[in-house]
Structure 1
Amino acid sequence: MNLKLIGIAALCSFSAFAEPELKGSPSELKSFFHPDVKTISITQSAEEIAFKDVAVISMLITTEDKKLAMSLQKNSKLRNDISATLTADGIHSDQIKNSKFSTSPDYGWFGDKPDNYKVANTVTVRIDNELGFQSIAKIVDAHDEVTLINTDFEHSEKDAYIQKAKQSALNKVLAQKDFYAQSLGIDLKAISFNDRSSFEEDDIERIEITGSRIKQASLSDSYQQQSADSSFEKVTYSANVTVTFVVQ
């Protein structure tokens, strides 16, 4: 009987040595069961340069008359004539926009009834070539009721150039990843990424047009003298791409 008890005790002792007990803090045990994954992050940047190729020109159409209905009619007719002229010169109707009109009565010295009614409406035209500029200049020269009030420039392919900059930066990241993989003899697999993009505008030469009602030189003549040496603004699109890879 004593021999049996000794044998059972020996088996229990052997079993205890065969399965050691794990001890430690939760973070230590976690690192034991889930070892840290080795990762590498690669960041690259790229730039794409473009030039603004669309001009947004605003003209103020102002008409006056003693009767409001007549002033409105004059304004509407002039705007229709302007649209017809621009369309005939190759500018699509979708590029011509009319704003909401406003009326402002002119009061005389005595009485509450206005002596005159003024109707103002802004016509905005998007153009992408010099012929469009010349067409608008001729309209401003031909009508005293038309005033050139603002000119802005835009880049028609903004979204495409932002994507182009991102693609260029990403290609640099992938080239760097292949270099590390081949040089170190490791496999890298992408697990996350981050990208940022921006654009900056550089004033190369802005066309500033001012005018008066002196008839010695017309607006169209002055524009033709400027157009040969004029250029739109430069735009620089920047992208910064970071990709994190896991070492397999």
Structure 2
Amino acid sequence: MNRFLLALLVAPLSNLCVATPEIKGTPQDLRGLLYPTANTVTIHGSAEEKAYSDRAIVSLVVTTEDKQLADAIAGNSTLRDKLTRALSGAGIPQEDIRNSKFSSSPQYSWLGKAPSSYKVINRVAITIEEEGQLEAIARLADQNEEVELSDTSFEHSQEQAFNKKVKSQALARIMEQKADYEQVLGVKLSPIGIRTSNIGHRATRGAMALEEVIVTGARRARDDYASQSLESSARASSFDEIQYEAELLVDFKIQP
């Protein structure tokens, strides 16, 4: 009798245990079930702005060679002093003319282990803001066999201002899209996060082409036939364009 009563009491409890739903899934699934996330939407905005470079850094390579290392060093220093005076006369401040540390390399002959001569190489970087100054540098490279124009890089003095400008424009376009969605869909979007996809600048194709013309033109001057074309290209071309770009992503929470 006691066993029969015990069975009657246990049976309902066992049925209750079987009826309880079993929860399965990954930890992320369980978190989503216990703490459901709000609906979100991501709006993308981008902007571009072009500006003209207003500054350039022109690199000259000065190479001198002599049988004695001391004479090669002295000759390199004398030539660089000459360049500095000529560039100052062209209106370039001396603080914008910078010399790198020189490097020397012995030149060996076919016979013997002793070096036959010593070569001293020095790089002079000149910051300029006018095309007339570029022409003065080109003439110095033409007139001195030991001097070669090796590189030209363009800069924009308002870089920070333009980076901020395109960023603000991209954000403004995002907010315009937000207002459109709210009006059409009848919802409210609240910002919960912002991500930067790309903010920066690059030279346009024209700027890179101008750099190539200047450098290759200076090298051809060694053959005495490109001096005039180099100067004319400097007069005809400006320090070309820089393109500033910004891409932003803003996450919004959708509220009815």
> Residue 47 of structure 2 corresponds to which residue in structure 1?
46
Partner Cα distance (2:24, 2:111) in 1: 92
Partner Cα distance (1:43, 1:118) in 2: 57
Q: Which residue of 242, 246, 252 maps to 1:235?
A: 242
Percent of aligned positions that are identical: 35
Corresponding position: 1:126 with 2:127: yes
Any conservation in 2 of the 1:57–1:151 contact (CA below 8 Å)? Answer: yes
> Residue 11 of structure 1 corresponds to which residue in structure 2?
none
> Residue 7 of structure 1 corresponds to which residue in structure 2?
none
Shift of 1:36: 4.4
Shift of 1:231: 3.8
Any conservation in 1 of the 2:64–2:121 contact (CA below 8 Å)? Answer: yes
Q: Tell me, what secondary structure is at the counterpart of 2:79?
A: helix
Corresponding position: 1:211 with 2:210: no
| 1:223 alignment partner AA | L
> Residue 81 of structure 2 corresponds to which residue in structure 1?
80
> Residue 138 of structure 1 corresponds to which residue in structure 2?
139
Shift of 1:32: 8.7
> Residue 176 of structure 1 corresponds to which residue in structure 2?
177
| 2:126 alignment partner AA | V
Q: Tell me, what secondary structure is at the counterpart of 1:91?
A: coil
> Residue 67 of structure 1 corresponds to which residue in structure 2?
68
Any conservation in 1 of the 2:138–2:231 contact (CA below 8 Å)? Answer: no
Q: Tell me, what secondary structure is at the counterpart of 1:211?
A: helix
| 2:205 alignment partner AA | D
Return the TM-score normalized by structure 1. 0.72
Any conservation in 1 of the 2:98–2:125 contact (CA below 8 Å)? Answer: yes
Partner Cα distance (1:66, 1:32) in 2: 84
| 1:202 alignment partner AA | T
Any conservation in 1 of the 2:203–2:243 contact (CA below 8 Å)? Answer: yes
Any conservation in 2 of the 1:141–1:218 contact (CA below 8 Å)? Answer: no
Shift of 1:51: 3.5
Shift of 1:58: 1.8
Shift of 1:154: 3.9
Shift of 1:105: 3.2
Shift of 1:171: 0.4
Shift of 1:212: 1.9
Q: Tell me, what secondary structure is at the counterpart of 2:222?
A: coil
> Residue 231 of structure 2 corresponds to which residue in structure 1?
224
> Residue 6 of structure 1 corresponds to which residue in structure 2?
none
With over 3 angstroms needed to count, the CA separation of the structure-2 counterparts of 1:70 and 1:33, relative to structure 1, is closer
Residues matched between the structures, number: 224
Shift of 1:115: 4.2
| 1:242 alignment partner AA | L
With over 3 angstroms needed to count, the CA separation of the structure-2 counterparts of 1:30 and 1:67, relative to structure 1, is closer
> Residue 4 of structure 1 corresponds to which residue in structure 2?
none
- Point out where structure 1 has 5 or more consecutive residues left out of the alignment: 1-21
Any conservation in 1 of the 2:134–2:234 contact (CA below 8 Å)? Answer: no
Corresponding position: 1:202 with 2:209: no
Deviation digits for residues 53-79 of structure 1 (CA, Å, limit 9, x no counterpart): 433322121223332212211211221
Partner Cα distance (2:155, 2:111) in 1: 49
Partner Cα distance (1:48, 1:245) in 2: 27
Greater C-alpha radius of gyration: 1
| 2:174 alignment partner AA | V
> Residue 3 of structure 1 corresponds to which residue in structure 2?
none
Corresponding position: 1:56 with 2:57: yes
Any conservation in 2 of the 1:166–1:195 contact (CA below 8 Å)? Answer: no
| 1:203 alignment partner AA | R
